[in-house]
Structure 1
């Protein structure tokens, strides 16, 4: 796999997750948007609204690309061609990890946003399944495309 690939898969997965979170937030009238929550916490610490907004989105996508890299390394080491099953497994595991991370962040932040934690964490688990499915299927399609290109190059020799 090429070096930029985790960024592609991470961006696809994070975009799908973010769309899911914004749709759930709008339908439930809750504050479930990860980039906005991150931005709110940064703004409460820095008092810099624009910096906080940019930081929230940057942290969200950076974490998504980092997680995509980890997933791809696991799939590479286990010689697994990622698909729906691997996306579901990665989604549950990353969702549980994400819940733990958010719990720690909310616990240690001096003024965390007021959100309904139990409903947020349930949403977060589902959002990570959406994220991981996006990463798995993007990684699979990218890997298959690279294989086809390689076969085509061999046949033309």
Structure 2
């Protein structure tokens, strides 16, 4: 049951986070879709022979795989380290994951000769907020289905 809860929470958390990014993207006319940006970075790799479009499956698979891995980390934290799981903890851990996400994206774009032309400062701000939503979603699912709270 725990494996299913981790997988489901990772998928749901990533989907809700991505939905938030889409809403902010449409309200601000900035490009914030993480999977699309991943595909842009992949397309710029010298080892990739063809151009990969925004909606290529590879960016989506990577994006959701990272979400499932982060859900597993949150599960381990909640199961092995803390005694009490709460949405406030999910919000805080989501913030921490957002900071890690900013560091990861910063590293990715620093190695890219031609990164996507977006407002990275605004992307990073929304990324932290999106990860806070992700953390709350994961925590809620784990509390309901895996932690037997």
After TM superposition, is the score higher than 0.5? yes
Contact in 1 for aligned 2:44/2:112 (Cα 8 Å): no
1:89-108 alignment, distance < 5 Å: 89-108=92-111
2:57 to 43, 54, 79: 54
Aligned to 1:142: 145
2:83 & 2:12 partners in 1: Cα distance? Answer: 20
Query: How many aligned positions are there?
Result: 146
Q: Work out which of the two has the higher radius of gyration on C-alpha atoms and give 1 or 2.
A: 1
Structure 1: where are the runs of 5+ without partners?
149-157
Aligned to 2:120: 117
1:36 & 1:82 partners in 2: Cα distance? Answer: 33
Aligned to 1:151: none
Please state how far the C-alpha of 1:111 moved relative to its aligned partner: 1.6
Aligned to 1:18: 18
Higher helix fraction: Structure 1 or Structure 2? 1
Distance 1:81 1:10, change over 3 A: farther
Please state how far the C-alpha of 1:6 moved relative to its aligned partner: 1.3
Verify: 1:29 aligned to 2:29, yes or no: yes
1:67 & 1:31 partners in 2: Cα distance? Answer: 23
Aligned to 1:7: 7
Aligned to 1:129: 132
Runs of at least 4 residues off by over 6 Å: none
Contact in 2 for aligned 1:88/1:132 (Cα 8 Å): yes
After superposition, the CA RMSD in angstroms is 1.9
Please state how far the C-alpha of 1:43 moved relative to its aligned partner: 1.9
Aligned to 1:80: 83
TM-score (structure 1 length as normaliser): 0.85
